[in-house]
Amino acid sequence: MVAGYGIRALAQLVRDQVFDYTVPALKLAHFGKRSYIHSRCSLRSPENISIGDSVSVGPDTCLWASPNAKLVLNDDVALAPGVRIFTSSRGLKDLDIPIMEQPWTEADVIIGKGAALFTNVIVLCGVTIGEGAVIGAGSIVATDVPAFAVMVSGPARIIRSRK
């Protein structure tokens, strides 16, 4: 025990301190006012990630942009723990080429103002989630989501509108 801290608490303290000083150095495309990214969030290609004002990103979240596609979280977006957002995936078209050798497909992902993605949601490349939309826990989003829609399931489907 070091100065009243358990080993785990000390490790968390060190990780949080490193994160506080490292995130600004990641050179995100944009990081808005009053926004928060948990220290256990995984970022890829941060130069292609834009985070608006008052955005909250929970622990164990993956924000994986790619070299040729952008990931945009507009103002007031809430991402619960375990959300995964990808701007790329492996191609599947050529049956003569193994999947791991297929070229990458890259496309922007945009999350609209005031949208909320609950625990363990997966958002695939090329998806736009509209303003105020809510995506239920464990959903897989492979198609665009209209503004104010509430979607659940895997693959996600619209169950009602918030309007």
Band (pLDDT 50/70/90 cuts) for residue 80 is very high
108 closest CA partner among 90, 91, 85: 85
Domain boundaries 28-161, corresponding CATH code = 2.160.10.10
- By the 8 A CB rule, do 49 and 28 touch? yes
Band (pLDDT 50/70/90 cuts) for residue 1 is very low
Strand partners, 2: 5
pLDDT at 23: 53
120 closest CA partner among 44, 72, 49, 59: 59
pLDDT, tens digit, 9 for 90 and up, residues 3-14: 555 777 777 766
The rounded distance, in Å, linking the Cα atoms of 117 and 96 is 37
pLDDT, tens digit, 9 for 90 and up, residues 132-142: 999 999 999 99
pLDDT, tens digit, 9 for 90 and up, residues 65-79: 999 999 999 999 999
Domain ranges of the chain: 28-161
pTM: 0.80
The token pair at 62 is: 């993956």
